């Protein structure tokens, strides 16, 4: 991936928003997985058919896969025409990330538990299939789990967020 894609302000990072570069890297990995799942020749022909190009652009596709050229929306639509909507699903999942986690430590625990479970489930699926699309999904889920555990660590490190123990849950 190009090095100049680390976009995002320090204020965004302080609010808990992931760096734009993380999203671009994940989307790049998903797109490469879609190409790998289809085969590079088939992917080039699918893009050609959608865009109406005279010939399939194998060299352009190779440049996109190496990160030297950006993916186009037409590429996404063409590659997902096989029924694998990994990139669209990832973009839809980002809406849940639009607002940073707030609330008490129990919210942070719940989120970390869910995200950790999703990452483990995705990793198990990838270990079974060794499919590039599943690999990209596993990386996405692992990054989300890492972010959730970072928020949990932030809650644990901030005395203001320390809840009053509930009787039977560590209360003396």
Q: Are 17 and 95 in contact (CB under 8 A)?
A: no
DSSP 114-170: HHHHHHHHHHHHHHHH--HHHHHHHHHHHHHHHHHHHHHHHHHH-GGGPPPPPTTTT
pTM, two decimal places:
0.51
10-residue mean pLDDT profile of the chain (172 residues): values are 46 59 87 92 92 91 94 92 88 66 75 91 91 91 92 74 55 48
Per-residue confidence (pLDDT) for residue 16, from 0 to 100: 59
Q: Where are the domains of the chain?
A: 1-100, 102-172
Region for residue 104 given its phi and psi (left: phi exceeds 0; alpha: psi -120 to 50; beta: otherwise): beta
């Amino acid at each position: 991936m190009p090095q100049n894609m680390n976009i995002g302000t320090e204020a965004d990072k302080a609010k808990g928003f992931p760096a734009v570069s993380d999203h671009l890297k994940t989307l790049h990995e998903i797109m490469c997985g879609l190409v790998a799942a289809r085969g590079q020749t088939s992917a080039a022909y699918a893009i050609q058919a959608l865009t109406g190009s005279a010939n399939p652009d194998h060299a352009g596709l190779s440049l996109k896969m190496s990160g030297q050229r950006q993916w186009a929306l037409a590429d996404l639509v063409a590659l997902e025409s096989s029924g694998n909507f990994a990139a669209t699903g990832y973009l839809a999942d980002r809406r849940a990330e639009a607002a940073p986690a707030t609330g008490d430590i129990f919210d942070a625990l719940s989120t970390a538990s869910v995200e950790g479970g999703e990452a483990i489930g995705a990793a198990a699926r990838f270990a079974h299939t060794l499919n590039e699309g599943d690999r990209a999904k596993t990386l996405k889920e692992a990054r989300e789990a890492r972010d959730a555990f970072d928020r949990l660590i932030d809650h644990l490190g901030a005395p203001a967020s320390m809840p009053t123990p509930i009787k039977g849950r560590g209360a003396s």
